[in-house]
C-alpha cells in the first residue's frame, strides 16, 4: 500500500492546449528531449522527407502538418512520472481536446508571443475554467518579433478572465531577444542562438547586479528591464499556490520552444507547482486517489486502427485510483459485468509498450473488443459507482454519405461505426429508412476530410459527401413522442440516431422555437445522452 501511494504521488498528468501554430507540438517534443525519450526533435512542417513530430502519428497529420487527434506521451523526469496529453489545436477537433482535458489534472496553455490570445485559446480555456483545473502559461516564440509583454499579460487577464503571475520576464524579442529575468532568484538567463535542437542547451546565469552583465545585455535593454521589473513588482499578482491549485491564477513563463530556451526552467517550475493526481466526481460523491485503494478508471478516448497490421481498437483510460495489474478483472459499470483488461500498454504516440503495472494518474491503453464507450467507468470496488459523464458536443455541420462501390457495404458500415465510436463524428439515419441513407454530423468541417481519408486508407472504401444545409440539431426528450405527428417548419428534417432515438435538424435557429410553439409539451435538448 505504501509503495502504491508513493508511486501515485510521483504522477503528474497534464494536457497541452493552444491555438494552431502556437508551438504546442514543438514544446511537447522538447519535454521529451529532456526526459531522454527522443534524441532529436522532429519537424511538424516541411518537405515530405522531413522528420515528423513524435506526437503526430496519423498519416493525415504527417501530410498536413497539423494534429487531428490527441496523443498520449509518458516519460520520467526529475523524480516524477509525467503523462502528457498532447491535443489538437485546430478548432475543428475541439471535441477531442475537450474529452482529453477531462483526463488531465492541469493544463499548459501555449501562446504565440506575436499573436497573443487567439479564438481557439479562449474556447479551450473555458473548458479548463469549467473544471477549475490549474492553468500554466508558456508564451512562446520570443525569438521572433513579439507583442509588448505587458500587453500579452493584459490580454490573458481580460480575454480569459484569470490573473497572471510572471515567473520570469523576457529581455527583448526577435533578433534582440537575449534572455529572461528570473524574478525569484534575481538572475538573468542568457539566450544563445546556437541552442536550436540541442537536448539541454547551455544557459548562462548572471545575477542582475553583476558588473559583467553589460557585456551581454545592451544598456538600453537593461534600463528597460529595470523599469519593467519595478512595474511588475508593484502591479502584478503575487504567486499564491492555493490560487494556482484552484485555477484562479496562472503562472506565466516566456521562452522559445523551437530554440529550446526556457523549456527546462518552465518544466522544473511546473513540476514544483503542479499537484499529484486530483480527486474526481462520481455519482457516489468525490473519489480521492489518496484515500481510495481500489482500482478505478474511466474511458475518455477510443482509437481504431492505430496498428495497421492488426486493425485493432484501443480504449484509452485515465486511472483515477489504485493500482492496475496486467490482465486484472474489473467491473464494467455500463456493461454490467466483469471484464478482463488485456494487452495493457502505455503510449509514445503510435509507439507502445506492454506494461505490467500502472497507477492513479497514468493513462493506459486497453485492447477493446468493441464493448467500451467514451465515458465508461471500470472499478474493482465493491461499491458500484460511475464517474461523471463526458458530454457530447452538438454537431454544427452535416453531410449525407454515399459509398462509391456498393459491393463494399460491409466495410463501409464497419468504418463509419468505428470512427463514430471514437467520438470524432456522429452518425444518424433518415427517419423511416434503414442504414441505406447515412447522415454524418461533425463539430468542424475538417472532420469530413478526416472521415473521407480514413475510410479510404483504413477500410478501402471510397465515399461521396453531399453537404446538407442544416446547422442546428435537437434531441427529443419526450420518450412517448410520435415523430410522425410533430408539426414542424419547412426547413426541419426528422432523423434518428443509432439507438433509434428521434432528432430534429433545422437550417434556421428561429425554427426551433417555432416548432416548440406548434407542439405543446415537446421538450428539445441541445445535448445528446450517452
Q: Which cell goes with 344?
A: 495493457
Strand, helix or coil for residue 107: strand
Res. 529 pLDDT band, cuts 50 70 90:
low
Q: Which cell goes with 24?
A: 504546442
Pick the CATH number of 397-525 from 3.40.50.2300, 3.40.50.1950, 3.40.630.30, 3.30.70.3280: 3.30.70.3280
Q: How many residues in total does the chain contain?
A: 530
Higher-confidence position of 63 and 448: 448
Of the ranges 9-23, 61-75, 267-281, 467-481, the best mean pLDDT one: 267-281
Res. 66 pLDDT band, cuts 50 70 90:
very low
Assess contact for 345 and 362: CB atoms under 8 A.
no
Assess contact for 32 and 82: CB atoms under 8 A.
no
Pick the CATH number of 2-68+106-273 from 3.50.50.60, 3.40.50.300, 3.40.1160.10, 3.30.1490.20: 3.40.50.300
The whole-angstrom separation of Cα 272 and Cα 265 is 11
The whole-angstrom separation of Cα 212 and Cα 138 is 29
Architecture of domain 280-379: Beta Barrel (2.40)
pLDDT computed for residue 367 by the predictor: 86
What is the rounded average pLDDT for all residues in the chain?
82
Res. 46 pLDDT band, cuts 50 70 90:
very low
What is the pTM assigned to this prediction?
A: 0.75
Q: Where are the alpha helices (DSSP H) in 170-288?
A: 219-235, 241-245, 263-273
- Is the model's pLDDT at 48 over the cut of 70? no
Task: Give the HSE-up count for residue 415: Cα atoms under 13 Å, Cβ half-sphere.
Answer: 24
Strand, helix or coil for residue 332: strand
pLDDT computed for residue 380 by the predictor: 95
The whole-angstrom separation of Cα 80 and Cα 268 is 11
CB contact set of 52 (below 8 Å; sequence gap of 6+): 42, 43, 44, 61, 62
Least confident of 132-141, 223-232, 366-375: 366-375
pLDDT in tens, 412-455: 888 888 778 777 788 888 877 655 678 998 877 877 887 888 88
Over the range 255-273, which residues count as b (16 or more CB within 10 Å of their CB) and which as e?
bbbbbbbbbbbbbebbeeb
Provide the β-strand partners of residue 313. Answer: 304
* Secondary structure of 26-38 in HEC code, one letter for each residue: HHHHHHHHHCCCC
Res. 512 pLDDT band, cuts 50 70 90:
very high
Decide whether 2-68+106-273 matches 397-525 in CATH topology.
Answer: no
Handedness of CA 198, 200, 206, 208 (dihedral sign): positive
Res. 332 pLDDT band, cuts 50 70 90:
very high
pLDDT computed for residue 133 by the predictor: 87
* Secondary structure of 355-421 in HEC code, one letter for each residue: CCEEECCCEEEEECCCCCCCCCEEECCCCCCCECCCCCCCCCEEEEEEECCHHHHHHHHHHHHHHHH
- Is the model's pLDDT at 59 over the cut of 90? no
Least confident of 163-177, 256-270, 306-320, 372-386: 306-320
Res. 135 pLDDT band, cuts 50 70 90:
very high
Res. 527 pLDDT band, cuts 50 70 90:
low
**Strands in 119-248 per DSSP E:** 135-140, 164-166, 168-171, 179-182, 187-190, 204-207
User: Helix %, strand %, coil % for the chain, to 5?
Assistant: 30, 30, 40
Give the containing element (helix H, strand E) for 480: none
Closest to 77 measured CA to CA, from 168, 9, 3, 10 = 10
The whole-angstrom separation of Cα 161 and Cα 122 is 10
Q: Where are the domains of the chain?
A: 2-68+106-273, 280-379, 397-525
The whole-angstrom separation of Cα 402 and Cα 464 is 5
Amino acid at each position: 500500500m505504501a509503495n502504491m501511494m508513493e508511486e501515485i504521488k510521483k504522477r503528474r498528468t497534464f494536457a497541452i492546449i493552444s491555438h494552431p501554430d502556437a508551438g504546442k507540438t514543438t514544446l511537447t517534443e522538447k519535454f521529451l528531449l529532456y526526459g531522454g525519450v527522443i534524441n532529436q526533435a522532429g519537424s511538424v512542417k516541411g518537405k515530405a522527407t522531413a522528420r515528423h513530430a513524435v506526437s503526430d502519428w496519423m498519416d493525415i497529420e504527417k501530410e498536413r502538418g497539423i494534429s487531428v487527434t490527441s496523443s498520449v506521451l509518458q516519460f520520467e523526469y526529475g523524480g516524477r512520472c509525467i503523462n502528457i496529453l498532447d491535443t489538437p489545436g485546430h478548432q475543428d477537433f475541439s471535441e477531442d481536446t475537450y474529452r482529453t482535458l477531462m483526463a488531465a489534472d492541469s493544463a499548459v496553455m501555449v501562446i504565440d508571443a506575436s499573436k497573443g490570445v487567439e479564438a481557439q485559446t479562449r474556447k479551450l480555456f473555458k473548458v479548463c475554467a469549467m473544471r477549475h483545473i490549474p492553468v500554466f502559461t508558456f508564451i512562446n516564440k520570443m525569438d521572433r518579433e513579439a507583442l509588448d509583454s505587458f500587453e500579452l499579460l493584459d490580454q490573458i487577464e481580460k480575454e480569459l478572465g484569470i490573473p497572471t503571475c510572471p515567473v520570469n520576464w523576457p529581455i527583448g524579442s526577435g533578433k534582440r531577444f537575449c534572455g529572461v529575468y528570473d524574478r525569484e532568484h534575481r538572475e538573468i538567463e542568457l539566450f544563445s542562438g546556437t541552442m536550436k535542437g540541442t537536448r539541454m542547451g547551455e544557459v548562462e546565469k548572471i545575477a542582475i547586479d553583476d558588473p559583467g552583465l553589460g557585456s551581454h545585455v545592451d544598456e538600453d535593454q537593461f534600463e528597460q528591464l529595470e523599469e519593467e521589473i519595478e512595474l511588475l513588482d508593484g502591479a502584478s499578482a503575487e504567486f499564491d499556490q492555493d490560487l494556482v491549485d484552484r485555477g484562479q491564477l496562472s503562472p506565466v513563463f516566456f521562452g522559445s520552444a523551437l530554440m529550446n530556451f526556457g523549456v527546462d526552467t518552465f518544466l522544473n517550475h511546473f513540476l514544483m507547482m503542479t499537484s499529484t493526481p486530483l480527486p474526481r466526481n462520481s455519482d457516489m460523491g468525490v473519489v480521492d486517489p489518496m484515500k481510495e485503494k481500489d482500482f478505478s478508471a474511466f474511458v475518455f478516448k477510443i482509437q481504431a486502427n492505430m496498428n495497421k497490421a492488426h486493425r485493432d481498437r484501443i480504449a484509452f483510460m485515465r486511472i483515477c485510483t489504485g493500482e492496475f495489474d496486467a490482465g486484472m478483472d474489473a467491473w464494467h459499470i455500463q456493461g454490467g459485468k466483469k471484464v478482463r483488461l488485456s494487452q495493457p500498454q502505455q503510449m509514445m504516440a503510435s509507439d507502445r509498450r506492454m506494461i505490467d503495472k500502472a497507477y492513479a494518474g497514468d493513462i493506459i491503453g486497453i485492447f477493446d473488443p468493441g464493448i467500451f464507450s467514451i465515458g465508461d467507468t471500470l472499478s474493482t470496488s465493491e461499491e458500484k459507482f460511475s464517474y461523471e459523464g463526458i458530454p457530447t458536443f452538438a454537431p454544427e455541420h452535416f453531410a449525407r454519405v454515399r459509398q462509391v462501390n456498393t459491393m463494399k457495404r460491409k466495410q463501409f458500415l464497419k468504418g463509419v461505426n468505428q470512427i463514430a465510436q471514437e467520438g470524432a463524428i456522429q452518425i444518424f439515419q433518415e427517419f423511416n429508412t434503414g442504414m441505406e441513407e447515412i447522415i454524418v454530423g461533425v463539430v468542424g468541417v475538417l472532420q469530413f476530410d478526416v472521415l473521407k481519408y480514413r475510410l479510404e486508407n483504413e477500410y478501402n472504401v471510397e465515399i461521396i459527401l453531399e453537404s446538407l444545409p442544416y446547422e442546428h440539431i435537437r434531441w427529443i426528450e419526450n420518450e412517448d413522442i410520435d415523430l410522425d405527428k410533430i408539426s414542424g417548419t419547412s426547413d426541419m428534417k426528422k432523423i434518428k440516431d443509432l439507438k433509434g432515438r428521434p432528432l430534429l435538424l433545422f437550417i434556421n435557429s428561429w425554427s426551433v422555437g417555432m416548432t416548440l410553439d406548434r407542439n405543446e409539451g415537446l421538450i428539445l435538448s441541445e445535448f445528446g445522452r450517452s
